Amino acid sequence: QKEVEQDPGPLSVPEGAIVSLNCTYSNSAFQYFMWYRQYSRKGPELLMYTYSSGNKEDGRFTAQVDKSSKYISLFIRDSQPSDSATYLCAPYSGAGSYQLTFGKGTKLSVIP
Amino acid sequence: DAEITQSPRHKITETGRQVTLACHQTWNHNNMFWYRQDLGHGLRLIHYSYGVQDTNKGEVSDGYSVSRSNTEDLPLTLESAASSQTSVYFCASSEPGPNEQFFGPGTRLTVL
C-alpha cells in the first residue's frame, strides 16, 4: 500500500460548484497535512496546511483531516476557472524529518 | 525578492551522457530537495540536503547524485543518462520545521 493515495481524476466541474478533493494515508506518524496547488507547467505552491485533526478555513478553501480514518479533504466553495490546476496532498510527520510524501495529485478543471 | 531558479529549463540529451541540472535559491534555506514528476507517479523525492556537506537519498535516487558545497546551490547529476530518466525535475527549498517548500519552475529533461 502506498503511503499516500489520491485519485488522479481528472475532475471537471461547472463554475460555482463545490469541489471535494481527497487523500488517504497509511502512516500514523503524519502530523501536518499540506495541500499544494500546481498550475500547468509550473512548480507546486503551498495552498494551506493543517496540524493534526480538524478543520481549517482560508477564504473559499477548507482543509479537513480525520486522523482516526487517515482521511484528508480539501473543499473549494464557489469554484472559479482560476482554480483549474492539479492539487497535491502532502502529509508530513515533523519530528526532525522535513521530507514531504506527495499524493499523485488530482487534476481539476472548472468550466465557465 | 528571494527566489529559487533552475537551469536549464529544457534539456535534450543522449543515453549515456552525464547531465547536471542546476538549482539556486536566495532564501538562505538550509533544506533543499530534488523531485521528479511523471504521469502516474506524481512527485517523487530523489535526493535532499539539510545543510552544507549533508546529502541524503530519497525514494528514487538510483542513477542520480548531488553535492552541497554552499547554502545556495544543490546541483543534481545524472551520471549516465537513461531514457527512464526522461521527466520534469523540480528543486525545492525550505526552512526546518513544518514550513512551506518553495519550488523552482522545473527542468524538462528528455533522454533520447
Query: What are A2-23's pLDDT values in tens digits?
Result: 789 998 889 999 999 999 999 9
Read off the amino acid at residue B24.
Answer: H
Q: Which residue of B33, B42, B103 is in closest CB contact with A103?
A: B42
Is residue A66 over pLDDT 90? yes
Best residue in B4, B5, B43, B49 to probe A by mutation, most A CBs within 10 Å? B43
On whether the CB atoms of residues A39 and A33 are closer than 8 A, the answer is: no
Nearest one of B99, B109, B98 to B22, comparing CA atoms: B109
Average confidence (pLDDT) over B50-76: 96
3-state secondary structure of A31: coil
Cell of B87: 521527466
Q: Within 10 A of B22 (CB to CB), how many other CB atoms are there?
A: 15
Is residue B100 over pLDDT 90? no
Residue B1 exposed, middle or buried by CB count within 10 Å (0-12, 13-18, 19+): exposed
The whole-angstrom separation of Cα B12 and Cα B21 is: 12
Average confidence (pLDDT) over B104-108: 97
On whether the CB atoms of residues A17 and A75 are closer than 8 A, the answer is: no
CA B111 to chain centre: 16
CB contact under 8 Å between B90 and A99, yes or no, is: no
pLDDT at B87: 98
Give how far B50 is from chain A: nearest CA, Å: 9
Instruction: Give percent above pLDDT 70 in chain B.
Output: 100
Q: Is B43 on the interface with A (CB under 8 A)?
A: yes
Q: Is A100 on the interface with B (CB under 8 A)?
A: yes
B contact residues 69-108, partner A, Cβ 8 Å cutoff: 90, 92, 94, 96-98, 100-101, 103-106
Is residue A80 over pLDDT 80? yes
Q: Which residue of B42, B101, B105 is in closest CB contact with A42?
A: B105
Average confidence (pLDDT) over A26-48: 94
Is residue A105 over pLDDT 90? yes
The whole-angstrom separation of Cα B42 and Cα A3 is: 13
On whether the CB atoms of residues A72 and A33 are closer than 8 A, the answer is: yes
Is residue A1 over pLDDT 70? no
Average confidence (pLDDT) over B25-48: 94
Give how far A19 is from chain B: nearest CA, Å: 21
Average confidence (pLDDT) over B36-56: 94
Q: Is A98 left (phi over 0), alpha (psi -120 to 50) or beta?
A: alpha
Average confidence (pLDDT) over A75-96: 92
Best residue in B3, B35, B37 to probe A by mutation, most A CBs within 10 Å? B37
Instruction: Starting at the earlier edge strand, list the strands of the sheet with B4-7.
Output: B4-7, B19-25, B76-78, B64-66
Higher pLDDT, B51 or A94: B51
Query: Lowest-confidence range among A74-78, A82-86, B7-11, B98-102?
Result: B98-102
pLDDT at A92: 87
Is residue A52 over pLDDT 80? yes
pLDDT at A8: 83
Q: What does the DSSP 8-state code read for residue A97? A: B
